[in-house]
Amino acid sequence: MLNLVLFGPPGAGKGTQSSLLMQKYNLIHLSTGDILRSEIAAGTKLGLEAKTLMDRGDLVPDEVVIGMISSKLDNNLTANGFIFDGFPRTTAQATALDILLKEKGTSISSMLSLKVADDELIRRLLERGKNSGRADDKNEGIIANRINEYNNKTAPLKEFYSSQNKLYEIEGLGSVEDIAQKLNSVIDNL
Ligand code: B4P
């Protein structure tokens, strides 16, 4: 199985690049952000609880997202592999993911980490916020909180995967096509 963690701060291009990678390598795309937004749209109890946190730019509790990923893995046991987009975001999530994959006889192949400067992240997210309808893309203060959550709780995961020799850092500034090519060349050489 080819199991990729697509990593980076909010607005780095994870969702954008995931759509391309999933087609090219025939992988299942698992975005915890998308799954949470579909729970909100469906008006479930989980969605209602998550909405308050997401609208503020805070992370949703680990047990919620780990449970969501676990059931998605169980439903796709014969897949070629997975792209994990926006997951894991904490050390507890990364540890749980390693255990879940081990139970299924597989593991993370690599973490592809997109590097983009904060001012460009803010610009992209405010731009998306003009049409996305996402409360967390509309306000610079909330975007700053998301970047803060990333720096405090998520960025340390680079060390988690680096210690397993699985970290690849990729420049995330440039055209979507150029960045896709850089990602493809890393994956093709795994
Ligand atoms: P996500 O849905 O993961 O939101 P994101 O990080 O903002 O999206 P992404 O990074 O994929 O956006 P992209 O760069 O593609 O999370 C939202 C919230 O859900 C979190 O704040 C949290 O509350 C919660 N959550 C999700 N997962 C969680 C977890 N595991 N644990 C706890 N809480 C969790 O795109 C950004 C914009 O940039 C787009 O408009 C795109 O068109 C543009 N763009 C992309 N590439 C570009 C390029 N090369 N040049 C110019 N623009 C580009």
pLDDT tens, residue by residue, 113-146? 999 999 999 999 999 999 999 999 999 999 999 9
Ligand 1 centroid distance, CA of 62 (Å): 18
In the chain, what are the domain boundaries? 2-27+79-188
Sign for the CA dihedral angle at 157, 63, 67, 146 comes to negative
The third-level CATH classification (topology) of the domain covering 2-27+79-188 is Rossmann fold (3.40.50)
Q: Which residues pair with 167 in a beta bridge?
A: 111
Question: Which pTM value belongs to this model?
Answer: 0.95
pLDDT tens, residue by residue, 137-182? 999 999 999 999 999 999 999 999 999 999 999 999 999 999 999 9
* 16 CA closest ligand 1 atom index: 15
Catalytic site residue from 134, 153, 158, 166: 134
Q: How does DSSP classify residue 136?
A: G
pLDDT tens, residue by residue, 13-36? 999 999 999 999 999 999 999 999
In the chain the first and final C-alpha atoms are separated, in Å, by 12
Task: Produce one character per residue of 10-25: b if its CB has 16 or more CB atoms within 10 Å, e if not.
Answer: bbbbbbbbbebbbeee
